[in-house]
């Protein structure tokens, strides 16, 4: 039997992943399905930290266009990630997986404050850690949060879970001739403006030589294949 090639990973989930086919909010059936996949990964003995977005509930950038102050809008988006984190925690604990939610914005009634050493200790004890509240600062996306937390906890890779099977030269749903990349360099992502993660996140990963694997979370068995070293999706590295 193949052994995992990674010991500690950061899984980046978008808020939209939880909404399923609905246009808004949380689809609890989809959330339960995601929890099952994460449980399978956890069963391999992997230490898993998760960073989740809030776009299914609130988008700061969209709110800013409607006249809301940018900082206020970003904080509202951070609160949306807390709701998603709690929903995912509930789904994981229904699967009998011990989970902790750590928030960059202090709200001790619902989540632990983010403390780097505490997060690492939870991982070492076999708990899944869900990072919410972004970085705790406006003007930073949850992509940047994923890169920052991965570097802080010494993760070996960021697993960027999406609804497509990798990074394409264009939107494959709109452009039939779009090419899927198997490998990319960080600098290529920035130069081509490919929608992998935002430029700040990519630069942080490049500076710390942290690979990113973009893959389809919803294809059964994919997440396990990635951990076992199979060539799934697109890998971005030096």
Reported as a single tens digit per residue, the pLDDT across 137-151 is 999 999 999 999 999
Confidence of residue 164 (pLDDT cuts 50, 70, 90): confident
Structural contact between residues 62 and 142, judged by C-beta atoms closer than 8 angstroms: no
* Model confidence pLDDT, tens digit, residues 91-102: 999 999 999 999
Residue 124 belongs to a domain: yes
Residue 172 belongs to a domain: yes
pLDDT for 1: 67
* Model confidence pLDDT, tens digit, residues 99-126: 999 999 999 999 999 999 999 999 999 9
User: Which stretches does DSSP call E strand in the chain?
Assistant: 8-13, 47-52, 99-103, 112-113, 128-132, 157-162, 167-168, 180-181, 183-184, 212-216, 234-236
Residue 179 belongs to a domain: yes
Residue 3 belongs to a domain: no
**CA 123 to CA 24: how far, in whole Å?**
31
pLDDT for 195: 83
**CA 189 to CA 192: how far, in whole Å?**
5
What is the domain extent for residue 119? 8-236
Q: Domain count of the chain? A: 1
* Average pLDDT in the chain: 93
CATH number at residue 75: 3.40.1160.10
* Model confidence pLDDT, tens digit, residues 7-22: 999 999 999 999 988 7
Share of the chain above pLDDT 70, in %: 100
1 vs 28, more confident: 28
């Amino acid at each position: 039997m193949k052994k995992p090639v990674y010991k500690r990973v950061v899984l980046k989930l978008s808020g939209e992943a939880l909404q399923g086919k609905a246009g808004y909010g949380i689809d609890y059936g989809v959330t339960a399905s995601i929890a099952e996949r994460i449980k399978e990964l956890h069963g391999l003995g992997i230490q898993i930290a998760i960073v989740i977005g809030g776009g299914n509930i609130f988008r700061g950038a969209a709110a800013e266009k409607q006249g809301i102050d940018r900082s206020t809008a970003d904080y509202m988006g951070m609160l949306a990630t807390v709701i998603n984190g709690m929903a995912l925690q509930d789904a994981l604990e229904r699967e009998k997986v011990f989970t902790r939610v750590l928030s960059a914005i202090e709200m001790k009634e619902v989540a632990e404050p983010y403390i780097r050493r505490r997060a690492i200790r939870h991982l070492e004890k076999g708990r899944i850690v869900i990072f919410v509240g972004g970085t705790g600062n406006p003007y930073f996306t949850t992509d940047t949060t994923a890169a920052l937390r991965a570097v802080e906890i010494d993760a070996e890779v960021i697993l960027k879970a999406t609804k497509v099977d990798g990074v394409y030269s264009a939107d494959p749903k709109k452009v039939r001739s779009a090419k899927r990349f198997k490998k990319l360099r960080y600098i290529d992502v920035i130069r081509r403006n490919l929608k992998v993660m935002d430029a700040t996140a990519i630069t942080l990963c490049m500076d710390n030589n942290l690979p990113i694997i973009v893959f389809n979370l919803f294809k059964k068995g994919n997440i396990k294949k990635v951990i076992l070293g199979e060539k799934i999706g697109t890998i971005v590295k030096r």
